[in-house]
Amino acid sequence: MPSFTYSARDKAGAAVRASIEAASRRDALRLLGARGLRVSSISEENPSGASPRPRSGEAVDKPRAAAAAISSSSGEAVPKRRERLPFLEALHDLTASGLSASEAVRLLSVRLKDPALRVLCQGLWERISEGAALSGAMAAYPAVFDTSTVNLIAAGETTGSLNDTLVRLIAHLTEQRELQRQLLSELAYPAFMFLVAGGVILFFLFFLLPRMQTLLTSLGGKLPISTQILVGLSQFALHYGLIIVGVGVFAVISFWRWRATEPGRLKSDAWLLRVPFLGPFITSQTVLAISQTLSVLLENGITTAEALKMTERQISNLVHRSAFGIAITRVLEGEALSLALARTKCFPDLVLDRLAVGENTGNVVPSLKDIAKNYRLLLSRELQGITRVLASAVMAAVFIFVGFIAFAIISAVFQMSASFSKMH
């Protein structure tokens, strides 16, 4: 009889790793379900030494990546992270109407028109029909559902509050999406101004100035210092512009590759924290990510240890992530989270004080929600401030450069006119 190796969690939430003999995967899943286990991954042991074929759970990253590549090459839509929120919203709409999660997934696999979402739902339904829980089926798609999402759904299934979990999770993901949209929209104007300014400068240096230089030279006489500087810049740009651009592109690519390494990412993240305006903005992002994620996880029944570890993975800045990891170690040793974070000296004192009040009163989740609410507003204000500074800096640079060009040209014209008058 075939043997299957599985990873699961019991009713108390403890991790279980063992093997079971059954006639098929479906029978194995049914036996494990009868024991009260929530399976996250299961694979058949192959006596011949061939690699096992995982069906669902955390051990499917490489096989799932290969399957995704095959689907992509065959033209079939491949589910990605952007399908997560639309799927959860569609799932909640059906489960809130009284359907079970499995029946809702089955219905979505038939009714959805979006190709990627339909492929996702069909894959989920295939695993659910074999006996897997919704969270176990979602774990088979790590490119779509991260560990935090899977664990939240698993907690909702265990406690029978899947609809409430979906509501909180959808609200959390919607807030993240809106923040990203705001970031892009706020940066669009400075980026547009930068492109316009660059175009104006290039037009003067490569098109207008060489023609005016020919005119001024034909009039004879010595050009003013400002005009000589401008002509020198134009000549330098004409002769060495491509070289400078090539060196700049090479420097950017080299820096990007260096930043992709662990030491490079850590070092560059530390530099970013020292940049005026940008450093406080990154700190605010970290505080918002911690407060949002941790409050959602704790509110949905995830244990403190697991919630802290999952929250750590949501921190993008490696300096802050490392500091939070050190704080987690101290919390697991019995120290309060606010005190552990205070030792890292990476987080604002006011945030730590509010967190300490929540811990002392037993209202950690409400305190975290309050911190998240305030930091969403603070982050929005900081983002607007950064974009205003960038836009003002670009506009000032353009005005200064255009003013210098106008002064240089007018000075040359007046000087040439004076020289021409003296000659006659």
pLDDT, tens digit, for every residue of 309-357?
Answer: 888 888 889 999 999 999 999 999 888 999 999 998 888 888 999 999 9
pLDDT of residue 38: 72
* Whether the predicted pLDDT of 135 surpasses 70: yes
Count the helix, strand and coil residues of the chain and give each as a percent rounded to the nearest 5. Answer: 75, 5, 20
pLDDT, tens digit, for every residue of 199-215?
Answer: 877 777 777 777 766 76
* Whether the predicted pLDDT of 254 surpasses 90: yes
- Amino acid 30 reads R
Instruction: For 377-405, give one letter per residue: b (16+ CB within 10 A) or e.
Output: ebbbebbeebbeebbeebeeebeebeeeb
DSSP state, 213?
A: H
pLDDT, tens digit, for every residue of 26-51?
Answer: 777 777 776 777 776 777 775 444 44
Q: CA nearest 347: which of 308, 303, 306, 291?
A: 291
* Whether the predicted pLDDT of 252 surpasses 90: yes
pLDDT, tens digit, for every residue of 256-286?
Answer: 999 989 889 999 999 999 988 888 889 998 9
Q: pLDDT: is 223 or 250 the higher one?
A: 250
Bridge partner list, 44: 4
Q: CA nearest 352: which of 374, 371, 373?
A: 371
Question: How buried is 289 (Cβ within 10 angstroms: 0-12 exposed, 13-18 middle, 19+ buried)?
Answer: buried
pLDDT of residue 249: 93
pLDDT of residue 307: 86
DSSP state, 422?
A: H
Q: Which residue has the tokens 């019991």?
A: 10
Task: Please spell the DSSP secondary structure of 172-208, one letter per residue.
Answer: HHHHHHHHHHHHHHHHHHHHHHHHHHHHHHHHIIIII
Instruction: Report the half-sphere exposure of 29 (CA within 13 A, side-chain side).
Output: 21
* Whether the predicted pLDDT of 303 surpasses 80: yes
Q: Which residue has the tokens 């979602």?
A: 138
pLDDT of residue 12: 67
- Amino acid 204 reads F
pLDDT, tens digit, for every residue of 364-377?
Answer: 889 998 998 898 88
The band of 72, judged by pLDDT with boundaries at 50, 70 and 90, is very low
